[in-house]
Amino acid sequence: MLNLGCGNGRISIIWAKLGFEVLGMDFSKEAINKVRERIKGEKNLAISFEIGDVLKYEFGKDEYGAVLG
């Protein structure tokens, strides 16, 4: 699952806790750094976060099962 404009990562974390593999992306370096710190203590979450411009992100047709924005 791809979460574009994930901000503080709240929705990304919820989906990861439900068992989905999640990539959260936001342009805010501060927001991404904060959410990375927030999940450090979490165990067994398939989740990662990237700093990037969601309007320029290119992904393959079958790369993600769902995209949230």
pLDDT digits (tens, 9 = 90+) for 17-36: 999 999 999 999 999 999 99
Q: What pLDDT sits at residue 50?
A: 94
Q: What pLDDT sits at residue 42?
A: 87
- Among 66, 54, 46, which Cα is nearest to 2's? 66
Q: What pLDDT sits at residue 4?
A: 93
Q: What pLDDT sits at residue 61?
A: 66
pLDDT under 70: residue ranges of the chain: 61-62
Q: Are 50 and 24 in contact (CB under 8 A)?
A: yes
Q: What pLDDT sits at residue 33?
A: 96
